[in-house]
Amino acid sequence: MSDPTTRTEAGDTAPPPSGTPHVRLRGLVKRFGGVVALRGVDLDIARGEVLGLVGDNGAGKSTLIKVLTGVHPADEGTIELNGATVEMDHPDRAREFGIETIYQDLALVPTFDLPTNFFLGRELTRPLLGGLLQVTDKARMREIATNVVRDQVGLAIGNPYAPAATMSGGQRQAVAIGRALYEEAELVIMDEPTAALGVEEQEKVLDIIRRLKADGVTIVMISHTLDHVFAVADRIAVMHNGELHAVKATSEVTRTEVVGLIMGSQLHDDAA
C-alpha cells in the first residue's frame, strides 16, 4: 500500500515495510543564511524499524534531525507523523508526539546535577501547604533517575548531587540515554550514541537499541561507526550535500558500498 517513496537522484530505493509510515518527510528544505543545509529531503521511516543515518560532516544528518524534532523549523516541506501533518515549531512539540532525542553533545546543563538534567523540562512536583504551592520534588527525581539509569541503561549514576560538569563522560551519556528511555517514546533519535564510549559501554548501547526495537520503538541512529550501523540497522540512509543520496536495506549493501555512497558515488546495477 505504500509506494517506494524514498526518492534519490541515483534512483537507489529500498522501500520500507508496508503500512502507514511512522514518519514521512517530504521536500524538507532548510537554509542558514546563504547555506542550504537540506535541499529537499523525502524520507519514509517505518514504525519499529531501525534506520541508520550516515553521511560525511556537513551532509545534513544533524540538520535533518533538528528539523524533524523542531529545533530548527523547516523552511519548506512537510512532516507527517502517523499519517497526520504536523508543524514542528519547537522541541516541545516533538516530545508531545512521543519523539525523544539523544544529542551528540548530550544537551546537559553543566551546573545542574544529573537527576535535574534527567528531568529538565518535565520536573516532578509535590504539593506544599496543602496544595497551595507546587514544589519541585528533588528527592523523587533523584530516586527515579538513579533507578532508570541503573536498571534500563545499566550504569550507576554516581553522586546525584554533583554538577554534571564534574561527572564522567559515561555517566553523562547514561543520563542522556536514560532520559530518553524514561519517557517511553515511540521514536528515539540518537546522534552518535556510541561516539564517546568505551567498548563495553558501546555494547550496552547497542543492546539498548536491540531491546527498544524488540519493544516496537522506531529508532533513527546517526553514526560514523559503520560497524555499529551494520550491527543494528534495518536500513541505511546516506546523506550527501544536503540530499538523501540513497536508502538501502542493510542486508543488500556492503560496507564498502556505503562508504562510497557517503562520498557521493552512485551504485550502478544490482539490487533495487
> Which stretches of the chain bind other proteins, using CB under 8 A?
69, 71, 90-92, 95, 101, 103, 107-112, 116-117, 120-123, 125, 134-136, 142-143, 146-147, 150-151, 154-156, 159-163, 165-166, 168, 170-171, 198, 200-201, 204
Q: How far is the CB of 131 from other proteins (least distance, A)?
A: 15
Give whichever of 119 and 244 is closer to other proteins, judged by the CB atom.
Answer: 119
Task: Say if residues 180 and 211 touch (Cβ distance below 8 Å).
Answer: no
Tally the C-alpha atoms within 13 A of residue 105's C-alpha that lie toward its C-beta.
Answer: 5
Give whichever of 160 and 242 is closer to other proteins, judged by the CB atom.
Answer: 160
Q: How far is the CB of 33 from other proteins (least distance, A)?
A: 15
Among 217, 248, 221, residue whose Cα is nearest residue 235: 248
Q: How far is the CB of 135 from other proteins (least distance, A)?
A: 5
Q: For the packed helices 138-148 and 169-182, what is the interaxial angle rounded to 10 degrees? A: 100
Give whichever of 7 and 93 is closer to other proteins, judged by the CB atom.
Answer: 93
Give whichever of 77 and 163 is closer to other proteins, judged by the CB atom.
Answer: 163
Give whichever of 14 and 68 is closer to other proteins, judged by the CB atom.
Answer: 68
- DSSP H helices in the chain: 61-68, 91-96, 114-118, 138-148, 169-182, 199-214, 226-232, 255-262
Q: How far is the CB of 265 from other proteins (least distance, A)?
A: 34
Among 137, 124, 223, residue whose Cα is nearest residue 183: 124
